[in-house]
Structure 1
Amino acid sequence: MDHSAHNKIVSFIWSIADDCLRDVYVRGKYRDVILPMFVLRRLDCLLEPSKDAVMEEVKFQRDDAGLADHDPEGLKEASGYVFYNTSPWTLKKLVETAANNRQILAANFKAYLDGFSDNVKEIVDKFKLRSQVSHMADKDVLLEVLEKFTSPNINLTPNEARDPDGRKLPELTNLGMGYVFEELIRKFNEENNEEAGEHFTPREVIDLMTHILFEPVKDKLPPVITVYDPACGSGGMLTEAQDFIIHPEGQIRAKAEVYLYGKEINDETYAICKSDMMIKGNNPENIRCGSTLADDEFAGLRFDFMLSNPPYGKSWAGDQKYILDGKQVMDRRFEVPLKDFRGIEESVAATPRSSDGQLLFLMEMVNKMKDLDKGPGGSRIASVHNGSSLFTGDAGGGESNIRRHIIENDYLEAIIQLPNNLFYNTGISTYIWVLSNKKVEKRCGKVQLIDASQMFRKLRKNLGAKNCEFAPEHIREITQFYLDMPNDGVSKIFDNSDFGYFKVTVERPSRKAAQFSPDRIATLRFVPALADVMEWAYEKWDDEIYSKLSDHRKTIEAHLEKEDINLTAKNSKVLLNPHTWESQRALLGVARQLMESIGQELFMDFNIFTEKVDACLKANKIQISASEKNQIYNAVSWSDENAERVIKKFHKISGKKLDELLVELSCRQEQLHDFGYWPTDSKVEYVEYESDSDLRDTENVPLKDNIHDYFRREVRPHVDEAWINLDQTKIGYEISFNKYFYQHKPLRSLSDVSRDILALEAETEGLLKQLVSFGEALE
């Protein structure tokens, strides 16, 4: 269906809302009537030619066969589809025989709806159409709406027709249904100032996806083919994939049996998808309604081909309880085995941040790939994503783990960057991911990136955000790039490992100075996390706070509310607990004793300072917890780059352990300090320094590089006392099209810019002279 025909149908149906529903529904509710009536009229058009045959079958089953209930198979055969209607009514007949009695029309319409097969009744229920019929009948607009939808000036059939003036009305294909449906949704959302939750995939994008999926294996297709879309929307991808395989013009495999499977969470789009399946003679039971992420309804099934345009930038927080229990993965679709940098394998969560679940749909498809041990064909996937799937997420995070799992298992064949503004409801950059678990030899261990962002032609008129499209020659060109795998220009070939990196944590020693002083230890009266409110209370009531805290509880709570201080329940309990205040006062007393014994000398070696504190505590038989001691240290110490390094502990390493350590770190003994082991005067003793979290940094080291060599080359010359915290090393994967396809454009020379400025000044001066001359002439 061409865009002009598409726009005419949309305009006609939109006019129904304006003409018939304006005073009956608020504008935001027009869609509740228009969308289901549009689908219903489509089904009605398909059943009209076989209506007499169906009624004959109903009569035969009732009178001749004596069946108490209808035999669905006989009725399906009579209708020619996998659905039917056993009532004597059609929408045209309802209009032709309508009386001025709205109750009778509503009753006949409901009888018409009741006559449908169960699969259509489910669609009617998903649209909540029965309640809309009652409301329209009550407002006396039902007949007017039916007249509009059955008008001879609109053709919703799959066959070409003529209007009353003899003008040709093009047929409405199943994909055309999807276009019209999506455009109506877009217009309704604009009216309501809403954002569309999904982005309908343009025909030419689906065409490209089907070429990429099927062309490489067109001579090896099995006689029975299964196709799956986990976010099938109105079913356009599924039906187009089927047409591409079996249509004579597709020249793929005309005799193949194709079985379509899909799942959709939105009731409206599910309803139109299921109606599409019925219209085309596919099994509508293979289309399910609900959340793909929350419920694995196709568990155990594996598919030959999968293609999808999952929702991106859409939260999956509502599905989390079905997937995660805390940090534990309950649904094995979203858990993958990965090895750490030492080669130790463990199962990790492959779940992205809750604000964007698009990669979970990709993992769902990866989970549904055919096991190569059970058949030679394997599976192929094409999935549309936005740019965040390429690079969002840090090493060890869910998004990175998903990319890593896909690339390290050598599933990723190619990623194709599409032009901006190609989709109807979004102008952002989009990409087609192409996956296979049975790569041809030349693709093994490789990933192809294709930059097709500049391959498009402009539309005469925008369709929503869509202002461009692929021409057939663009699809052929991109497909050929994919098949030929050139490594030049818009097509580049990379090793799998080119996208991976080690995220290495680089530590630097903590250097602290310390000094007791009355001002510093005064802060110990308060819990650090509650210091502001505790200091306010102490200044207000002084030592009375220790004996009469409960008397001031309400005043403290009022202060928190007035100052908009939001404390957790735990911190509120701590604040209002007398033991908290007493223990902090006791800790302040300990600090005063230590200051009296040690004095207020400035220590530039924190190690000596802590030794003196420990000795003083022991001499005075004072026992405090490690956390209390740390609170004292934090109160009287600070970072100072001129201070000595703070020692964490000493290590005594035997010869055997030393050899094992050198093997593990892949370094020589004199290079141990690169990994945090600094030799002392003893031959078997090494010191480990406390790290300064404020100076901590990370380096992304390419997988093809050696961590130790990279560190000595890129880090050590600049920070000679840094070391690698090897235990914190993680592996990440990301893909950056800008990095690989960016072409530097040199700035214009200063002389060129100056010349242009002088030319503009001369032109401006000439224009001013003309204006002055013109003014003088007028005088």
Structure 2
Amino acid sequence: MAQATHNKIVSFIWGIADDVLRDLFKRGKYPDVILPMCVIRRMDAVLEPAKEQVLATKRMLDEAHITEQRAALCDAAGQAFYNTSKFTLRDLKSRGSQQQLLADFEDYLNGFSPNVQDILENFKFRNQLQTLSRADAIGTLINKFLDPDIDLSPAGIDNHSMGTVFEELVRKFNEENNEEAGEHWTPRDAVRLMANLVFRPIESAIRSGTYLLYDCACGTGGMLTVAEETLTAIAAARSQQVRCLLYGQEINPETYAVCKADMLLKGEGESAEHIVGGAEWSTLAHDAFPAREFDFMLANLPYGKSWKKDLEAMGGKDGMRDPRFKVMHQGEELSLVTRSSDGQMLFLANMASKMNGQSALGSRIAEVHNGSSLFTGDAGQGESNIRRWLIENDWLEAIVALPLNLFYNTGIATYIWVLSNRKPAHRQGRVQLIDASQWFKPLRKNLGKKNCELSLEDIERISRCFLDFAETPESKIFPNAAFGYWKVTVERPLRLHSQLSLKAIETLRFNSGDEDLRAALYEEFGDDLFSRFSAVSVALEKRLADWGSSDDPEGEDDEGGTKRGLPERQKKKLLDARTWERDGRLVDVATRLRVLLGEALFDDHNVFRDRVDAALKTAGIKLAAADLKQILKAVSWRVESAPPVISRVHKPGKVRAEPLRGLYAVSVDGRPAIVEYEPDADLRDTEQVPLLEDGGIEAFIRREVLPYTPDAWIRDDATKIGYEISFTRHFYKPPPLRTLEEISADILAIEKEAEGLLDGLLRVGQR
């Protein structure tokens, strides 16, 4: 269809909204009427030639008391859908009263087959009929869609063109309402590029047969349609006959309805049955095709959107058992669960889980992401684990950086990820990065935020760059491991001085938390809190209930300036006698230790700890390890020059000294021993060590860490593998430095301008 004809039809339908719906609906509600009416009119035109045959078949089946009628009626209609109402839209054009017209129109709608009923339900079209009827607008609306100036029959507009009309209307309505049209419609130029990246590398291997195509966020289905057309054209050029079955899932009800209607109108009834959607059909929480594998997959994802609701429905991070997002990889279970604020990488994991592992061609995937998918997520976190899973399985073929402002709803950087589980030999073990951000043609008029497009020449240039798989300024090729790193935790020993001072011991009195609040209560109730809690518990409970009331000067103000009481959880803890008794016991024990050991300063915490253990034993005091730890912590502080605190001692014969692993050969009590030191959490650090580092982690630590902190060691059990991809690092081109001549010329120009200003000021002063 010519572009002028396409524009005329879209403009005419767009105008119907203003002509008929103005003052009846808010502008944001226009698509709730116009889109379903487009679908209804198109279906009506498609079914009109076989109307009498369908009605005759219906009468025959009813007379024969045959209840399963769907297949026969579809056969009579020559379509994957039908309508058994006695009316067509032309019959309704000149009906009587609005009340009669409403009843007849509802009868007409009820006559559609179940698959069309599903479409109407998701459009929620019946919800609009009373409003239209009361305004005497149903007849006007029908007449507009039957206007001879636009022919929506198959003779006037083919199936493909009708699909693009649907999509253009969706885009325009959403743009008008400041919604994100890009969620529903990916620009055709971007889709053609994605189809090229999926099909052209294997076009010579395409054979006659049936292929399954899948889009996990299919919107109006345009991406599936272009993919099908591309595959069919490639096969036809090679004298091969292919059959495509399209599968899609879409959560937006109206968009899903457009997609399914488009499939039905194209005569793809079987594919229409494979389009699943509606508000309850989130791809992440409710996989519509859990046991299905696909040959080719394409998608433009809802990036940067929260999936918290889905996460909760799936049992949360800890309770999730979905095999798409909990995978076995190299003998370990790898969690692919990302942060709940952005689930785009999970869609990629979903597609990767559906790769065809049996066929000769395997599966190929093209998926659009924003830049965050390249680098967000630390080592061991979901996003990084997904990148690791894909790259270490050697599925990632390439990532293509697209021009800015290519999409309708965003001007941010976007990228196409290309995956295959049947990499050709020359690509195995390697990943190609393509910077196509400068290959585009400007638009004469912006479409939303889209101000450029990929011309046919640009698409061919990017495709050729991908197929050539060669190093150029815009194409870089890396081994898989180039994007990986070890995240290594580096520890340093804890070094402490210790002293049983009265001030330090006093801090134990409020060791259970809420120090300021407990201190205030201690001033009010005294030692009874620790030794006779039952005697003050009632008064304490009342005091806490009053805390923060309007007549309490100590209560804290909230943001509005009004007093707020204590949280129930905090009250409960303060009313727990055991917390007060425990803190009182800590003070008592520490005080007795001070009597036994004095208030001398210990510059070696190891000696202090041994003296404390001996004193407790001598005094017959039994103390839980956790309580002893609290006392030692309260009376000690970090000093860099102090000896390291020993946490464990090994006999030399059982383990060997490995300083890089935190095992040191020292003398303990005059005997050789292997010790582990207590790590200082405040000095803990991490290093990213490239997987391609010569000599591995140890060589990196010896070169980059030990010269500056010779007492550092590696905590092996905390080492994690991460992956990230940086386009900036590989493609950034700094602007050229200015020459000295240019800088000098600027300076002279500024000096000359300044002289002129001074002369002007002097002349003013002389006046």
Q: With structure 1 as the length reference, what TM-score do the two structures score?
A: 0.88
Counterpart of 1:292 (choices 280, 283, 302) is 283
Q: Residues 171-217 of structure 1, C-alpha deviation per residue, up to 9 Å, x if partnerless?
A: 934134223213212322x2xxx556825211011100111111111
The offset of 1:583, in angstroms, is 2.2
**Which secondary structure does the structure 1 equivalent of 2:478 belong to?**
strand
Give 1:428's aligned residue: 412
The offset of 1:432, in angstroms, is 0.7
Give 2:661's aligned residue: 675
Deviates more, 1:144-153 or 1:689-698: 144-153
Identity of aligned residues (%): 46
1 CA distance for matches of 2:516 and 2:6? 65
Deviates more, 1:243-252 or 1:392-401: 243-252
Does the 8 Å contact 2:182/2:407 carry over to 1?
no
The offset of 1:746, in angstroms, is 4.3
1 CA distance for matches of 2:581 and 2:672? 47
1 CA distance for matches of 2:339 and 2:290? 24
Q: How many pairs were matched up?
A: 739
RMSD: 3.0
Counterpart of 1:58 (choices 49, 55, 58) is 55
**Alignment pair present for 1:556 and 2:544:** yes
Give 2:190's aligned residue: 205
Equivalent runs, 1:392-403 vs 2, <5 Å: 392-403=376-387
Counterpart of 2:246 (choices 253, 260, 267) is 260
Q: Residues 21-60 of structure 1, C-alpha deviation per residue, up to 9 Å, x if partnerless?
A: 3332344433332332233333334x2xx41423233224
Going from structure 1 to structure 2, the CA distance change for 1:498 and 1:160 (only over 3 Å counts) comes to same
1 CA distance for matches of 2:199 and 2:735? 38
Does the 8 Å contact 1:322/1:330 carry over to 2?
no
Q: Which amino acid in the other structure matches residue 614 of structure 1?
A: D
The offset of 1:739, in angstroms, is 1.1
**Alignment pair present for 1:275 and 2:275:** no
2 CA distance for matches of 1:628 and 1:3? 80
2 CA distance for matches of 1:475 and 1:584? 72
Give 1:221's aligned residue: 206
Counterpart of 1:178 (choices 167, 173, 193) is 167
**Alignment pair present for 1:305 and 2:289:** no
Give 1:743's aligned residue: 733
The offset of 1:109, in angstroms, is 1.0
Q: Which amino acid in the other structure matches residue 122 of structure 1?
A: D
Equivalent runs, 1:642-721 vs 2, <5 Å: 642-654=641-653, 658=656, 672-681=658-667, 685-705=673-693, 706-721=696-711
Counterpart of 2:471 (choices 487, 497, 515) is 487
**Which secondary structure does the structure 2 equivalent of 1:488 belong to?**
coil
The offset of 1:768, in angstroms, is 9.9
Does the 8 Å contact 1:5/1:170 carry over to 2?
no
**Which secondary structure does the structure 1 equivalent of 2:127 belong to?**
helix
Q: Residues 715-748 of structure 1, C-alpha deviation per residue, up to 9 Å, x if partnerless?
A: 1111111111111111111111111111233443
Give 2:561's aligned residue: none
Counterpart of 1:79 (choices 74, 77, 80) is 77
Counterpart of 1:522 (choices 474, 481, 506) is 506
Give 1:115's aligned residue: 111
Q: Residues 61-120 of structure 1, C-alpha deviation per residue, up to 9 Å, x if partnerless?
A: 42599444584334334434211222233334422x133x21111111111111111111
Does the 8 Å contact 2:528/2:536 carry over to 1?
yes
Going from structure 1 to structure 2, the CA distance change for 1:566 and 1:354 (only over 3 Å counts) comes to farther
Going from structure 1 to structure 2, the CA distance change for 1:333 and 1:514 (only over 3 Å counts) comes to same
Q: Residues 300-356 of structure 1, C-alpha deviation per residue, up to 9 Å, x if partnerless?
A: 2211111111211122222224544652541111122234xxxxx211211111111
Going from structure 1 to structure 2, the CA distance change for 1:312 and 1:103 (only over 3 Å counts) comes to same
Going from structure 1 to structure 2, the CA distance change for 1:385 and 1:589 (only over 3 Å counts) comes to same
**Alignment pair present for 1:752 and 2:738:** no
2 CA distance for matches of 1:768 and 1:67? 106
Equivalent runs, 1:90-101 vs 2, <5 Å: 90-95=88-93, 97-99=94-96, 101=97
2 CA distance for matches of 1:514 and 1:500? 44
**Which secondary structure does the structure 1 equivalent of 2:488 belong to?**
strand
The offset of 1:673, in angstroms, is 0.5
Going from structure 1 to structure 2, the CA distance change for 1:128 and 1:402 (only over 3 Å counts) comes to same
Q: Which amino acid in the other structure matches residue 36 of structure 1?
A: P
Going from structure 1 to structure 2, the CA distance change for 1:65 and 1:599 (only over 3 Å counts) comes to closer
**Which secondary structure does the structure 1 equivalent of 2:649 belong to?**
strand
Does the 8 Å contact 2:660/2:714 carry over to 1?
yes
The offset of 1:491, in angstroms, is 0.6
Does the 8 Å contact 2:55/2:86 carry over to 1?
no
Q: Residues 359-418 of structure 1, C-alpha deviation per residue, up to 9 Å, x if partnerless?
A: 11111111111123xx32211111111111111111111111111111111111111111
**Alignment pair present for 1:731 and 2:716:** no
The offset of 1:538, in angstroms, is 2.1
Q: Which amino acid in the other structure matches residue 581 of structure 1?
A: W
2 CA distance for matches of 1:196 and 1:549? 63
1 CA distance for matches of 2:137 and 2:127? 14
Q: Which amino acid in the other structure matches residue 474 of structure 1?
A: D
Going from structure 1 to structure 2, the CA distance change for 1:746 and 1:641 (only over 3 Å counts) comes to farther
* Unpaired runs of at least 5, structure 2: 550-554, 559-563
**Which secondary structure does the structure 1 equivalent of 2:578 belong to?**
helix
Q: Residues 261-306 of structure 1, C-alpha deviation per residue, up to 9 Å, x if partnerless?
A: 1111111111111111111122111111212222233122211111
**Alignment pair present for 1:333 and 2:324:** yes
Going from structure 1 to structure 2, the CA distance change for 1:210 and 1:650 (only over 3 Å counts) comes to same
**Which secondary structure does the structure 2 equivalent of 1:151 belong to?**
coil
Counterpart of 2:128 (choices 129, 132, 146) is 132
Deviates more, 1:60-69 or 1:588-597: 60-69
Going from structure 1 to structure 2, the CA distance change for 1:630 and 1:63 (only over 3 Å counts) comes to closer
Does the 8 Å contact 2:512/2:579 carry over to 1?
no
Give 2:496's aligned residue: 512
Deviates more, 1:61-70 or 1:235-244: 61-70
The offset of 1:613, in angstroms, is 1.7
Q: Which amino acid in the other structure matches residue 732 of structure 2?
A: Y
Q: Which amino acid in the other structure matches residue 687 of structure 1?
A: V
2 CA distance for matches of 1:584 and 1:558? 25
Does the 8 Å contact 2:298/2:367 carry over to 1?
yes
The offset of 1:236, in angstroms, is 0.7
* Unpaired runs of at least 5, structure 1: 162-168, 340-344, 659-668
Q: Which amino acid in the other structure matches residue 733 of structure 1?
A: Y
The offset of 1:14, in angstroms, is 4.3
Deviates more, 1:306-315 or 1:563-572: 563-572
Equivalent runs, 1:494-643 vs 2, <5 Å: 494-543=478-527, 545=529, 546=533, 547-559=535-547, 562-563=555-556, 571-643=570-642
Q: Which amino acid in the other structure matches residue 759 of structure 1?
A: A
Q: Which amino acid in the other structure matches residue 212 of structure 2?
A: T
**Which secondary structure does the structure 1 equivalent of 2:362 belong to?**
coil
Does the 8 Å contact 2:400/2:433 carry over to 1?
yes
Q: Which amino acid in the other structure matches residue 88 of structure 1?
A: K
Going from structure 1 to structure 2, the CA distance change for 1:113 and 1:610 (only over 3 Å counts) comes to same
Does the 8 Å contact 2:57/2:72 carry over to 1?
no
Does the 8 Å contact 1:522/1:588 carry over to 2?
yes
